[in-house]
Chain A
């Protein structure tokens, strides 16, 4: 697998992200608890589990959108280790807009609906200080074609796009600054099966080509198999099984994972 090679080639490097004993409580209720793992550069990690198992809660904490009740998230970009919740909010926001990206399930949450497709893609470049219109414009066009949207749609608004196109546009907006790490919560959730397949294919190619590390939440094991190198299975807020995706899916050890995989096979 290319990402495994990738990982070996940067073996001396520290993990890009290390979560230690992450717990997020909502009062008495457990969002997620005692989650620890590491993610290496270029690696794609899947989080699966039934509804309410804590996938989104965990992802929000990892992405810096929600503060865990306890535990730490250590990041390592460019060899500079930082603790996500020790740094100031502006630094965290800066990181969020440059080093990593978040793909929302609903494209409306990740796009500016009153700004053209080109403006949506260009914003991330302007955020980091790009001030050459011509270059911003050509990046926008380039990324539109990479996500398979006709470049003559560059001045159209997202609302003039289909759901699948909106999601691909969101992907372009997230990927244009070439983040090191991307978080996705059910990125194909709201889409038809055929539209999903195309988006998945695109995601797979882009993530591999760019060598981005990604954490993808999904309840769809087929999506997990297609996109991820490694899998964490969650139940009641905790990780019950973890391993290489093919091993977890083909040879599940935990009874709950066995149930999950057989449910898919049965379906």
Chain B
């Protein structure tokens, strides 16, 4: 996709320079203390509520004219949200946008980490609805701050204990808590736990923004990120019995897609750009003929317009 002309009615990147400075300072602090939640003065953004604006504010504070932006929502580049955020930044910053992971310098994401490994120099910005991993075990903010300050994380393991006692395994499959740099317990946002191992020693910089809760946190490149577990119940990721029906990939995160109203279903890569790339390279899955009708698969067909 090509660069668009910038809308002169807005400051570059939409936010004013003072706000960007404030966010960048919070980001610097966050990078200096991996996994620690830094408060920041969250601003209103002209976007639908519910998507959350923390990640978008980070992107707005960091983006420069030379950047190439990729936006993912639930793994896909072509959902309503992903498309409108891409358009937004094309308009207020005039930047290039892309769907290709390796072309992007900035990747704004909700709910997934791309399947292709990220590399040095890239920045992954996560959208965070609930930054506090301890919220489920402790409702008081004063208390959770103390628990972080003094590494009192026993209660966090109580959650895992309860899962194993009840289900025989840790049932938590999203927002699976991690320990960052052996110091802070952090919520990786609602990414599937499948993506957790990708965070560990990732060469790219990972930034997290929670707009409503006014928190920013970060994992600098090559930082240890360990999913919480027990010695006798080690952390495990989701597995599928079949490969992607479209590109035949094994070892990518698959979404179940309903194919008709007679109970037909198949599993396809949630990372749409990765899947397409593989198909372009000639990989096929069992459903390839059927899948040529791409509109059939598109979760938001009206977005194609």
Contacts and interface: CB of A to CB of B under 8 A. Distances in A.
Contact of B162 (A89, A119, A131): A119
A115 B149 CA distance: 24
Given A131-B231, A154-B165, A123 B150 contact: no
A152 to B, nearest CB: 13
Interface string A80-117: 00000000011001100100000000000000100110
A154 B166 CA distance: 11
B132 to A, nearest CB: 17
A131 B230 contact: yes
A93 B165 contact: no
B120 interface: no
Contacts of B32: none
B296 interface: no
A115 B152 contact: no
A119 B154 contact: no
A80 B233 CA distance: 37
Nearest to B151: A90
Could you tell me the dominant secondary structure of chain B's interface residues?
Answer: helix
B162 to A, nearest CB: 5
B233 A133 contact: yes
Nearest to B166: A155
Interface residues of B, number: 18
Contact of A131 (B150, B157, B166): B157
A137 interface: yes
B161 A118 contact: yes
A79 interface: no
A155 B230 CA distance: 18
B158 interface: yes
A155 B165 contact: yes
Nearest to B170: A133
B158 A133 contact: no
A128 interface: yes
Interface string B139-172: 0000000100110101101100110111000000
A132 interface: yes
A115 B158 contact: yes
B154 A126 contact: yes
Contacts of A94: 150
B260 interface: no
B238 to A, nearest CB: 20
A90 B151 CA distance: 9
Contacts of B149: 90
Contacts of B230: 131-133
Given A90-B146, A90-B150, A94-B150, 13 more contacts: A90-B149, A93-B146, A115-B158, A119-B165, A125-B154, A126-B161, A127-B154, A131-B229, A133-B164, A133-B231, A133-B233, A134-B232, A137-B165
Interface of B: 146, 149-150, 152, 154-155, 157-158, 161-162, 164-166, 229-233
10 closest pairs, A vs B, by CB?
Answer: A127-B154, A90-B150, A126-B154, A133-B230, A126-B157, A132-B231, A119-B158, A123-B158, A134-B232, A119-B162
21 contacts: A90-B146, A93-B146, A97-B152, A115-B158, A115-B162, A116-B162, A116-B165, A116-B166, A118-B161, A119-B161, A122-B161, A124-B154, A126-B155, A126-B158, A131-B157, A132-B231, A133-B161, A133-B164, A133-B232, A133-B233, A155-B165
